[in-house]
Amino acid sequence: MSRKLLVVEDDTITSSYLVQSLREQGYTVDIAEDGREALYLASDGAYDLVVLDRMLPGLDGLSVLKALRAARIETPVLLLSALSTLDERVKGLKAGGDDYMVKPFAVSELLARIEVLLRRRSAGPEAETKLRCGDLEMDLIARKVSRAGKAVELQPREFALLEYLMRHQGQLVTRTMLLEAVWDYHFDPQTNVIDVHISRLRQRVDKGFQQSLIHTIRGAGYRLAAEG
Amino acid sequence: MAIRPQSATLQIARALIPLSLVVTLVPFGVLYYDLSKQHEREVATEVGGELSMLKSVYEQEGPAAVEEMIRGRLRNSASGRMLYLFEDGYRYRVAGNLTTWPAAASGFAWEVVPLSRSTFTEPEIMGASATELPGRYRLLVAVPRDEWGIPTATILKGAILAFVIALALTIVTGFRVSHFLRRHMSSIVETAEDILGGDMSRRVKVSYLPVEFSVVSASLNAMLSRIEDSMTTMRAVTDSIAHDFRSSLTRLGARLEMASGGKGGEQELRTAMRDAASEVDSMLHILNSLLEIARAEAGVSGDQMVDMDLATLITDVGDLYVPVAEESGLHLNVHAAEPIQVRAHPELLAQAIANLIDNAIKYSPRGSAIELRASLGPLGPLIEVSDRGPGIPAEARERVIHRFVRLDAARKSPGSGLGLSLVAAVAKLHGAFLKLHDNLPGLTAVIQFVAKPRRKPPLSFLFRRTVER
């Protein structure tokens, strides 16, 4: 079953590029070029996700979002904006946005975030107490990790990092996403801070095992998966 | 409230006219009241004397003598300003030049009442005294108020004259005040016009102005300096962006051109494209850094500043960087002994510290240590990042804080040359400053918070309302 996405973006070059990338990923994509059209298309709730630019002719992105939420349409919305201040980010999320990306952005990052939002929706909100990936097990209550029955000692941050990867296993997770989720920093460090932390985590989790679970996706980020 | 523009002259005059009216008319009013009371008393005494004289004539010589006396006085005009009414028991006028008795009572000491001289004339206000005489006769003596001798016309003339003079002075004052305002405003206006004309360096001359104006002008000058500052900065940024991006774009263009024109295979094309993508990445990185600096320099709204603990902050950032340092064969030691409260923007401050650590890691020799410390200095809280790298020569320390400045020695290592300017901008945003010291050897970067008193413009007591918002 193919997922249906709505891309709301008034810049035709950006939108056609986005749409092409999304179609390559197997999504069905519709385009709206202004706020009114977006509201019209999205108001039946038939989309799995809306990628919404904030600056739009007619009705601006935030108003579209507020109108949708007021109409109890809970389709996940990923906001795109050239406005990068923390204020704007908070404003966007408060209005009911599920994620916020600042332009210019890397398409791989956008794809990764879309994937996370779609999975989150299908996963449902029920609380889990144990996460599992292959022979790696994480007990969220006892805060213990074991691989093939052997305990793996982790620092609190390493635990948080692994937890995020496990919750999104099989998905591409970018460095920015990790920095945001685990450290709650929204800036772009100059050195590859995240790479170092991942390589430490790898030492604890993958070292001495035949099969690696943490995979590097070149030029994009990481993926935790039992195979491939 | 709609405010229509009006000249200051008119407004000042309008405000002063009621004042001058009060100032001139009240004294004249008081004067008039006192004088009229005094004259009334004199007249009353005079009338009382006449009445008692006539009464004693009546008692000694009877009604006919009184009648004769009144007639005689009226005939010879010897009565002066006095008017009489002498009636018998039948209320018939025996003598006198008044027509009707003014009151029910036949005797009264002093009344001010309307009385008529004849049936055909309008009654006039008069002061009168009356007495009842034996044999049911009665006698009244009166003086019209007009003849009491109150100098009404003189007082009125004086009042009008005083008012006219006050009015004239008011208008002159209005003109002088507005001229004064205009004269002192003109230096502000001229400055503004010069600036409109493009000369951003012009400032209002403060020294010649009265205190109230110099406060305004000083504030204006400070504002102008701030604007000029940001314009200069903006120009510098634009230039730097243009320079950096132009060279990046040129490289990018050349690479793409070579790839498309060359006869290389797919492998070669892929390499060229990957190079191009990484060039774009680095441009994006620079752009993001610039935006962050701009954002820090533009300031953040107060509600984003929170009370936070520096020790916790550097522990968190240290936590992020300790493994990174170890990866480069360095030790990052975090010293956060005691909680230190500051009001700050946690994210920006974290980023500034991260930048300092990034730099330290970049320039430290293998095996050395980097110290990250938060402490309370004599000036206020401070954050220090010290390394054992080559340091920065004293004369270059000021310069490296500017955007895109990278010392020649550092040209080969990666970086945009924006790290320290972001730190400086973030420090400024917090009312702190960035200072670079020699670590003998190495570099110590200090973000020094200054415990500042509440910010008030100079002489703010003159403008309390604008300050206490």
Expressed as residue numbers, the domain containing A146 is 130-224
The DSSP call for residue B395 is G
A chain contacts of residue B385, beta-carbon cutoff 8 Å: none
Residue A34 three-state SS:
coil
Give residue B186's pLDDT: 82
Q: Does the beta carbon of A190 lie under 8 angstroms from any beta carbon of chain B? A: yes
A8 in Cβ contact with A53 (< 8 Å) = yes
Pick from B327, B347, B355: which is nearest to A185 by CB?
A: B347
| A87 and A186 belong to one structural domain | no
Classify domain B300-469 at the CATH topology level.
Answer: Heat Shock Protein 90 (3.30.565)
A chain contacts of residue B295, beta-carbon cutoff 8 Å: 84-85
| A93 and A45 belong to one structural domain | yes
Residue contact A104–B291, C-beta within 8 A: no
Classify residue B106 by burial, with Cβ atoms within 10 Å: 0-12, 13-18, 19+. middle
Residue contact B287–A104, C-beta within 8 A: yes
Domain ranges of chain B: 8-153, 203-298, 300-469
Question: pTM above the 0.80 mark?
Answer: no
* Chain B contact residues (CB < 8 Å to A): 277, 281, 284-285, 287-289, 291-292, 295, 300-301, 304, 316, 319-321, 323-324, 327, 347, 350-351, 354-355, 358, 361-362, 415, 419
Residue contact A185–B320, C-beta within 8 A: yes
Quick one: which of A160, A199, A200 has its CA closest to A180? A160
| A109 and A146 belong to one structural domain | no
CATH number for the region B203-298 comes to 1.10.287
What pLDDT tens digit does each residue of chain A (228 aa) get? 578 999 998 888 888 888 998 998 889 999 998 888 898 898 888 899 999 998 888 788 888 999 999 888 889 999 988 776 667 778 888 888 898 888 777 788 888 899 888 887 666 555 678 888 888 999 988 889 999 888 999 988 899 999 999 988 888 898 888 988 888 887 777 668 899 999 999 999 988 888 889 999 887 789 999 875
Give residue A127's pLDDT: 66
Residue contact B362–A191, C-beta within 8 A: yes
| A151 and A61 belong to one structural domain | no
CA distance A23 to chain B (A): 21
Per the structure, how many domains does chain A have?
2
| A118 and A20 belong to one structural domain | yes
CA–CA separation, A19 and B243 (whole Å): 33
Give residue B370's pLDDT: 93
B chain contacts of residue A106, beta-carbon cutoff 8 Å: 281, 284
| A8 and A112 belong to one structural domain | yes
CA–CA separation, B81 and B144 (whole Å): 8
| A8 and A117 belong to one structural domain | yes
Residue ranges for chain B with pLDDT beneath 70: 1-6, 78-79, 207, 237, 240, 244, 296-304, 402-417, 451-469
Quick one: which of B302, B67, B17, B317 has its CA closest to B169? B17
| A135 and A95 belong to one structural domain | no
A chain contacts of residue B360, beta-carbon cutoff 8 Å: none
- Taking each helix axis from N to C end, the angle separating B310-327 and B346-363, rounded to the nearest 10 degrees, works out to 30
Of how many residues is chain A composed? Answer: 228
Q: Of the residues A64, A88, A123, which one is the last residue of a structural domain?
A: A123
Please enumerate in sequence order all residues whose Cβ is within 8 A of that of B121, keeping only pairs 6 or more positions apart, or say none.
none
Give residue B348's pLDDT: 83
Q: Of the residues A108, A123, A138, which one is the last residue of a structural domain?
A: A123
Best B245, B320, B364 member to test A by mutation, with max A CBs in 10 Å, is B320
B215 in Cβ contact with B462 (< 8 Å) = yes
Residue contact A187–B300, C-beta within 8 A: no
Q: Does the beta carbon of A199 lie under 8 angstroms from any beta carbon of chain B? A: yes
Cis peptide, bond prior to residue B114, ω within 30 of zero: no
Give me the interface pTM, i.e. the ipTM: 0.72
Give residue B237's pLDDT: 67
Q: What is the CATH number of the domain that holds A94?
A: 3.40.50.2300
Best A191, A197, A198, A202 member to test B by mutation, with max B CBs in 10 Å, is A191
What the block records as the tokens of B285 is 């990185």
Residue B153, sorted as left (phi over 0), alpha (psi -120 to 50) or beta, turns out to be alpha
A133 in Cβ contact with A224 (< 8 Å) = yes
Best A105, A196, A204 member to test B by mutation, with max B CBs in 10 Å, is A196
Q: What is the CATH number of the domain that holds A200?
A: 1.10.10.10
Report which residue type is found at A93. L
Q: B444 has which bridge partners?
A: B386, B437
The DSSP call for residue B317 is H
CATH number for the region B8-153 comes to 3.30.450
| A114 and A182 belong to one structural domain | no
Q: Of the residues A93, A123, A153, which one is the last residue of a structural domain?
A: A123
Q: Does the beta carbon of A218 lie under 8 angstroms from any beta carbon of chain B? A: no
| A114 and A201 belong to one structural domain | no
- Using CA atoms, how far residue B353 sits from B199, B390, B423, in Å, is 39, 20, 8
A38 in Cβ contact with A50 (< 8 Å) = yes
Please enumerate in sequence order all residues whose Cβ is within 8 A of that of A29, keeping only pairs 6 or more positions apart, or say none.
A4, A5, A6, A7, A19, A22, A23
| A68 and A138 belong to one structural domain | no
Cis peptide, bond prior to residue B453, ω within 30 of zero: no
| A118 and A134 belong to one structural domain | no
CA B390 to chain centre: 53
Segment B273-329, tens digit of pLDDT: 888 887 887 777 777 777 777 776 666 656 667 888 999 999 989 988 998 899 889
